[in-house]
Amino acid sequence: ADPLCAAHLHCPPLAVAVAADLAVSALNPSPDSWDQAPAATPRETLLLAELAELVGYDDRAAGVLTSGGTESNLMGLMLARDRVRGRASGRAGELEGVPRNGPRPRGFASAAAPCAVQRAAARLGLGE
């Protein structure tokens, strides 16, 4: 109903997409760790290396595949928080949160940023 919303129609899936979805559903290869998906985890690494090469990054580039933008926003903020915390104490921000002393981390997002950014910051102890 929002005049700024661009609606779209869902087209029928390609046969190869249905076959791939069937395989993924049957195998449930969650590349969270190698023991959960010994085949999918190395493929994720290879795919990320190819993507990094496509955009001109060197072999030090790293990453993970996420299920969508909400998870990507959460993970990006978490990694930034943990890096700030790790520098401050030598430990991960996951264990100790944001430093109480010193400069407080700040995040910047435009007014057009999705609400997932604000929710992720709140969940990670950074405040809204």
Task: Return per-residue pLDDT of the chain as tens, 128 residues.
Answer: 677 777 766 777 889 989 988 887 787 777 777 777 777 788 888 999 999 999 999 989 888 888 888 999 999 888 888 777 665 555 555 566 666 676 677 788 898 999 999 999 988 888 88
Are both 86 and 117 inside the same structural domain?
yes
9, part of any domain: no
Contact criterion met (CB below 8 Å) for 47 and 64 = no
Structural domain count of the chain: 2
State the amino acid at position 24 in one-letter form.
V
Domain that holds residue 107: 69-123
Contact criterion met (CB below 8 Å) for 128 and 120 = no
Are both 73 and 118 inside the same structural domain?
yes
Contact criterion met (CB below 8 Å) for 88 and 99 = yes
Cα separation of 12 and 30, whole Å?
Answer: 26
10, part of any domain: no
Cα separation of 20 and 83, whole Å?
Answer: 37
